[in-house]
Structure 1
Amino acid sequence: MADHAPVTEGGTPRWNPARVEDAALVTGGGRFLDDMDPLPGTLVATVVRSTQPHARLVSVDLSRARAQPGVAAVIGPEEVRAAVRPFPLSTTTPMAYYPTALDKVRFVGEPIAVVVASDRYTAEDAAELVTVEYESLDAVVAPRPALLPDAPVLHEEAGDNVATDRTFSFGPVEQAFADAAHVVEADYDFPRYSSVPMECYSVIANWQDTADGPAVETWANFHGPFTMVPVMAGALGIPTSRVRLHVPADIGGSFGIKAGIYPYVVLMALASKHAGTPVRWTEDRIEHLLASASGADRAMRFSAAVADDGTVTALKVDLVDNVGAYLRPPEPSTLYRCFGNITGAYRIGAVEIRARAVVTNTMPTGLNRGFGGQQLYFGLERLMDAVASATGRDVVEVRRQNLVDHFPYETPTGGVYDSGDYPAALDLAVKNAGLDELRARQAAARAEGAYYGIGVGLVVDPSGTNIGYVGLATPSEDRKPGRDKSGSTEHVRISVDMQGLVTVMLGSVPQGQGHATVARSIAARRLGLPEEQVRAIVDMDTSTTPWTVTSGSYSSRFAPLVTSAVVEAADRIAATVRAAGSVLLDLPPEELELVDGKVRHRDDPERAVLFRHAAGVVHWDPGALPEGVSARLYEEAAFTPREVRAATKDDRINSSLCYGFVAELVAVRIDPDTLEISIDRVSSVHDAGTVLNQQLLDGQVHGALTHALGGAMYEEFTYADSGQPTSATFLDYLCPTSAEAGYDLRTDHIVSPSPLTPLGAKGCGEGSSMSFPVAFANAVADALGPHGIEITRLPLHGEVLHQLFENTTTKEIH
């Protein structure tokens, strides 16, 4: 039974209903795509992939595969060239991207051909008969080498490997640096890593030639953003309305990367066209690690102009993102997602930014939990430690001195921080960490010759993304008038049936966050109903589910945006039910309220009728409704906050609607003999505005910390200089387990409701994925700093530390 009673903290109500998603999952009743068989006669596809990182395709011979018994179709570069347009890109850079290679391959694992057969065994056997002749080319795999004049060029028509290059300046940057008492600068690198979901990519596609023209119906574990639907339609050359996409209620993990499935949806649609039947493709783990998607690795330089007292007066940021072999939409999003909050939690009045994306012979990148924020804060928060060192100040105090301390606060780049109390959150994190105790442990460890460090990471956590930020990749003078993009719109539909049962339909395609639980709870509260009388639907059908191009489960949109649309739609339904109740009670609607499943008089609760009876009036006796009341218990709401607009002519943008905050302290021990790093304690304090469900917030924090632990200590997609991947199995791509997450964790939160959302809620699912990696790195740097070890990159583990010590020793010898 759900708990309907609000829990109060600081005067702010919180509700903690039981998760409605769990029962099916823990009893084997989940509905994942591989469990579904929606179309009879579906055949199975296998993808033939490149074994070369960079090579011209001399020939692709499909004849032997086509001759195999049980094979229905084999398509390759020529079939793709004839039927598919290049995907629309976010910039005008001439770097055409198709679902397969055409004239040359640009990364190991790039699709070349698709075999469709009666079963997977037959398809894979036939795939081995596809003969590909290559002319090998030199490869480049890292961002800095890709910029060199003599680097191998991936896309000859572009002339070099730079996919986008923009410079921005806001405020008196040069003057601040000229007047600075200290200029602090350093180069940093953030690794390429991913999410490793339990379920890999999966697609079922059915091409249909109808009297109205071609249409494609697909099923995919695609989590959004739905900006990719018009991208798919554009590649297939059909109207968006002719692409019907189903997403099952259960997706076995995503954290962003399943947005990258869309080229396979297009590819399987084309395979279905040639086979004349529906086609199913399910990716295996090696395919996923080779060729699905990952977060972008970034090379960056951060420079700060600093006054004698430790105040940072200006910032210069040079970012180079490695987007892989193609500028695959929605890239270069990673560069710009945090544009409005690029100065982080600090009052920095002037900033200069250079933002570049380069292509390399590696897997294309895309969304990954905290995307853009992980990379940004690794550089910014390492820099703040360097500022503390340069000015002789404590790392906590130099941050406290520079914190934003009033709200709303407008950043130089156009972000508007809506609410918060950053000093209070930092103080609580320090208190919960027991910082004095940790420093005593550090002193004792150092006295024994051991390594112990304490690190801090503060992040402004953007939520409710304004998709208009992608426009910043195009200079303002080149943006076409009337073609600007903006927005954080989310749609929700609520209906009430003839027995008073309420259905809430969402377009947010969750992957385990508990969207159904929260939406059901909010609708029930707004309608005065027990939660058992409300159900939420989260599986997606683009032909029937309310959605817009901004819909999807990304950038922590659910709490600030989807719930706001739920409130609006529920309140409209409530108004109609009160009007219907007024007919039965012979009372004015404005004197009625919805409580405990009833429509009742505010001052005389005994005068009441059941909610379902009032709803019945609308269905069965609409003529009795008051004048002007529509006989409709079906409402769709689109929450469209006016605070998120397109980029201005001077390139300023409020790149998210809401901005939360995370303060994190991490303490680590490093074994002096093995250099193995162990986490001693983590103190994490979050401000996500109004807490809608404490259990879910805690789960999101714990999940983000574990996800971040992977990128901080274990996970990295690596490539040999030749371009061959060296982390294509779990033997080399290491993921943390529950054993590695068994440290002393102390989580807490403060509540600063957002004034921009009806419930005051902000997002919370990404925060620690941004703050933990750099707090961890700062702790390791603190532990090893006395020994001359500098930390400029992740991940960090014993092998990396051995190399750092060895390099330091070598330098000392020379």
Structure 2
Amino acid sequence: MVEQPSPSDPPVPDWAPSRVEDAPLVTGQGRFLDDLDPLPGTLVAAVVRSPHPHARIRSVDLGRARAHPGVAAVLGPAEVSAALRPFPLSTGAAMPYYPTGTDKARFVGEPVAVVVATDRYTAEDAAELVAVDYEPLPPVVGARAALAEDAPLLHEAAESNVATDRTFEFGDVAEAFRSATHVVEGEYEFPRYSSVPMECYSVIAEWRDSSGDGTVGPAVEAWANFHGPFTMVPVMAGALGLPTSRVRLHVPADIGGSFGIKAGIYPYVVLMALASKHAGAPVRWTEDRIEHLLASSSGADRIMRMRAAVDADGLITALDADLVDNVGAYLRPPEPSTLYRCFGNITGPYRIPVVRIRARAVVTNQMPTGLNRGFGGQQLYFGLERLMDAVATHIGGEVGGETGRDVLDVRRRNLVGSFPYETPTGGVYDSGDYAAALELAVKNADLGELRERQAEVRAGGGYYGIGVGLVVDPSGTNIGYVGLATPAEQRKPGRDKSGSTEHVRISVDLSGVVTVMLGSVPQGQGHATVARSVAARRLGLPEEQVRVVVDMDTATTPWTVTSGSYSSRFAPLVTSAVVQAADRIAATIKAAGSVLLGVPSDELELAEGLVRSRAEPARAAQFRHAAGLVHWDPSVLPEGTSARLYEEAAFTPREVRAATRDDRINSSLCYGFVAEIVAVRIDPDTLQISVDRVSSVHDAGTVLNQRLLDGQVYGALTHALGGAMYEEFRYAPSGQPTSATFLDYLCPTSAEAGYELRTDHLVSPSPLTPLGAKGCGEGSSMSFPVALANAVADALAPAGIQITSLPLHGEVIHNLVSGDGRYGDHRHSRPSGGVETWR
């Protein structure tokens, strides 16, 4: 991408330094797990995986593998089912999930056995000696196949492939559609893809019969490149049958990227802990790339039917959404998160007063799903923003020379205009100026010039399209949304879950050096850089006097079940905890300064490494001298002052509560905004799509570090480009994956990202966070795929072709133009009752 600066770009603050994380990485001194050897005598594991998508496991013969020289242990389904409990699920579905298949294999690549040996070569050789007798069963591939009445069952005890099915209604939906001037409907499909990290999964685990801390009973200590959410720690403990206090997890400072995918590593942590118990030694397992593409995790693919009731003025009066997520072989925690993460912002940036939602998750013989950058948002906005274009097309006006109201005009008419704004589903948008952000994106795109290009290309027989995507970007997830998968009457009183808490610990040593300890397990975003800047500013110190620790050790690092690096939590939550802890430290330093200077503490300030009088700045003492006084001579501190330079803060916003009894929830703390305009060309001969220009405007509240925010935007755009045009986990009707290597699973490179990019920012500080910051890591991963789809639809509009699915590339366009592809099903009709179900 070629960055074109916008005149309205905010200046980079003079306190925003380069990333402190970069030097070790670019000099080869990163601390990745496969480089570390924390335990002596560690053995190595290899995993035996199912070649079948759906098969009953008749028997497993481990004898030859156990007899192989150098093998310490081999365990299979019998050992797993005897020693472990099924992982606790988010719903009551009778679909038990273990770290290996026990009764059946339910997807290609599912673990069936583990071999532990002296080295990887020996382990893999012995793994080939494990003999599994399979009874192949008919596979279920795709959500539609799972919903068929005669579909084979993956989990017989559940009596259905539907893992969860809930319907929500907010307002009189039937009346809204009866009285509508127009009813516009579309059916859409969002693909299954991942955000491929540079480093695959890696685990080192040790089972100990005694933890060595004076307590009685077994314990597990593990190292993993896990990124959270730490709700998975009690899930691990539950499977092992241990208290959470006896499961100790370490996460190194560098984890080689994740983008949500490494939240799914926890089954392997449990599996390697059990392997360690059998081997009597620590066990290491490092996933290879084929294993990762076969059996790690991906985002959920979704089929959805969206209906809008529209009045004569083009205002949307009701939204009816039928959503079906394919979660793969198991409803693996934290799923069904993808269905509910955007519950509070399901109406996007639009004032839609009445909503009905049917939310289903189905199981299939495919890799289980989980978090993926922007999870829930990409799927939702692909349907919602395609529907907005359909509304524009059907209710009059002009779009690109075709019949229909201008797509921008329809959006402008329906935008939320005042804040705070409460959605029908319970979301509370804290701040913003959506109209201004849209106009800025239009201005920066130079829309007039793009339309001239479009006219010129079309006159020459080519295809050129312009698309828009507007999204509300949720950050600071309220984990309580997962409770919506359970009907209110089945949710046990007093056992609701909610919250967006983050913990931070700050200490000052006797020489005045400040240490900030984070539990946010970053994956490359620059948490240390920003936390250092925030703490230094609050304490009036040069940044060189502040160090940040990001290694996670659940036994010593402050954390809570909501901790982790997901849902753009760092800017709104972690920095808020940094502010709280730093301010408490500042109060103690000022108290010490009052002793040194003979000035009341409330008349002091911290600046330039000093404690000084606001009235007489020359009357000052060094910060380090004040810190030294607390350490060396605490008895002289003012009465009531604690002699402690060690503070832990937990930022716990009260705006995020559990779901109400009528199923409304504020599913995130903060809500940013993204307006994106994308222009594309389609070569008339090759039908290859090329992105011509992108105008992207983000409102993430207060900008804490412009360089890092820009980096998040660029990264999200590239991930989104992959999901929109290149990346897709495909499966043959037989259930065999057909994209298990990088020859078939294509990721975009710098060559594919060589379009003209114009980024800009609007700042609407959040009133809910001390610094006014919101998250910014996921926005374009939600907006770009549908903006590109809208642009391709606009390009092909003269041919009467509809775009209803992703990814889009030359082969897809060829099939559409030649009549071999799906044209979609947008209908302009009078109201006709409820949304149909898929059969």
TM-score, L = length of structure 1: 0.98
- 1:171: Cα distance to partner? 1.1
1:761 to 773, 780, 783: 773
SS in 1 for 2:218: strand
Q: Deviations over 1:322-357 (max 9, x none)?
A: 000000000000000000000000000000000000
Moved more, 14-23 or 179-188: 14-23
**Map of 1:3 onto structure 2:** none
- 1:536: Cα distance to partner? 0.5
Decide whether the 8 Å contact of 2:478 with 2:499 is kept in 1: yes
**Map of 1:531 onto structure 2:** 543
Assess, with a 3 A threshold, how the Cα gap between structure 1 residues 615 and 103 changes in structure 2: closer, same or farther.
Answer: same
Query: Letter of the aligned partner of 1:738 in structure 2?
Result: S
Q: Deviations over 1:297-332 (max 9, x none)?
A: 000000000112211110000000000000000000
- 1:165: Cα distance to partner? 0.1
CA distance in 2, matches of 1:279, 1:12: 47
Alignment of 1:684-695 (within 5 A): 684-695=696-707
CA distance in 1, matches of 2:58, 2:24: 51
Q: Deviations over 1:704-723 (max 9, x none)?
A: 00000000000000001110
Moved more, 275-284 or 305-314: 305-314
**Map of 1:674 onto structure 2:** 686
1:188 aligns with 2:188: yes
Alignment of 1:6-85 (within 5 A): 15-85=15-85
Assess, with a 3 A threshold, how the Cα gap between structure 1 residues 324 and 479 changes in structure 2: closer, same or farther.
Answer: same
CA distance in 1, matches of 2:95, 2:791: 41
Alignment of 1:458-477 (within 5 A): 458-477=470-489
**Map of 2:299 onto structure 1:** 295
Query: Letter of the aligned partner of 1:266 in structure 2?
Result: V
**Map of 1:783 onto structure 2:** 795
**Map of 1:257 onto structure 2:** 261
Q: Deviations over 1:786-809 (max 9, x none)?
A: 102110000000011111122269
CA distance in 2, matches of 1:493, 1:129: 50
Query: Letter of the aligned partner of 2:241 in structure 1?
Result: G
Decide whether the 8 Å contact of 1:523 with 1:567 is kept in 2: yes
Alignment of 1:600-615 (within 5 A): 600-615=612-627
**Map of 1:551 onto structure 2:** 563
Decide whether the 8 Å contact of 2:596 with 2:626 is kept in 1: yes
Alignment of 1:3-402 (within 5 A): 15-210=15-210, 212-392=216-396, 393-402=405-414
Assess, with a 3 A threshold, how the Cα gap between structure 1 residues 809 and 679 changes in structure 2: closer, same or farther.
Answer: closer
Aligned residues between the structures: 805
Assess, with a 3 A threshold, how the Cα gap between structure 1 residues 113 and 11 changes in structure 2: closer, same or farther.
Answer: closer
CA distance in 2, matches of 1:408, 1:749: 20
- 1:9: Cα distance to partner? 7.9
Alignment of 1:404-803 (within 5 A): 404-803=416-815
SS in 2 for 1:198: coil
Query: Letter of the aligned partner of 1:217 in structure 2?
Result: E
CA distance in 1, matches of 2:820, 2:737: 29
CA distance in 2, matches of 1:710, 1:309: 38
SS in 1 for 2:719: helix
Decide whether the 8 Å contact of 1:14 with 1:692 is kept in 2: no
Moved more, 170-179 or 753-762: 170-179
CA distance in 2, matches of 1:196, 1:660: 25
- 1:14: Cα distance to partner? 7.4
Listed as ranges, the gaps of 5+ residues in structure 1 are 1-6
Q: CA RMSD in A?
A: 1.3
Decide whether the 8 Å contact of 2:10 with 2:761 is kept in 1: no
Query: Letter of the aligned partner of 2:389 in structure 1?
Result: D
Query: Letter of the aligned partner of 1:781 in structure 2?
Result: A
Query: Letter of the aligned partner of 1:328 in structure 2?
Result: R
Listed as ranges, the gaps of 5+ residues in structure 2 are 1-6, 397-404, 824-839
CA distance in 1, matches of 2:294, 2:822: 36
Decide whether the 8 Å contact of 2:9 with 2:761 is kept in 1: no
TM-score, L = length of structure 2: 0.95
CA distance in 1, matches of 2:546, 2:63: 56
- 1:240: Cα distance to partner? 0.1
- 1:145: Cα distance to partner? 1.4
Decide whether the 8 Å contact of 1:15 with 1:694 is kept in 2: no
- 1:18: Cα distance to partner? 1.5
Query: Letter of the aligned partner of 2:118 in structure 1?
Result: S
Decide whether the 8 Å contact of 2:812 with 2:821 is kept in 1: no
The runs of at least 4 consecutive aligned structure 1 residues that moved more than 3 Å come to 7-15, 808-811
- 1:15: Cα distance to partner? 3.9
Query: Letter of the aligned partner of 2:149 in structure 1?
Result: P
CA distance in 1, matches of 2:567, 2:328: 22
Query: Letter of the aligned partner of 2:114 in structure 1?
Result: V
CA distance in 2, matches of 1:424, 1:744: 22
CA distance in 2, matches of 1:450, 1:805: 13
SS in 2 for 1:748: strand
CA distance in 2, matches of 1:535, 1:143: 49
CA distance in 2, matches of 1:407, 1:601: 40
Q: Deviations over 1:119-169 (max 9, x none)?
A: 000000000000011101000110011101001110000001000000000
Q: Deviations over 1:375-409 (max 9, x none)?
A: 00000000000000011210011101100000000
Query: Letter of the aligned partner of 1:337 in structure 2?
Result: R
Q: Deviations over 1:541-590 (max 9, x none)?
A: 00000000000000000000000000000000000000001111111101
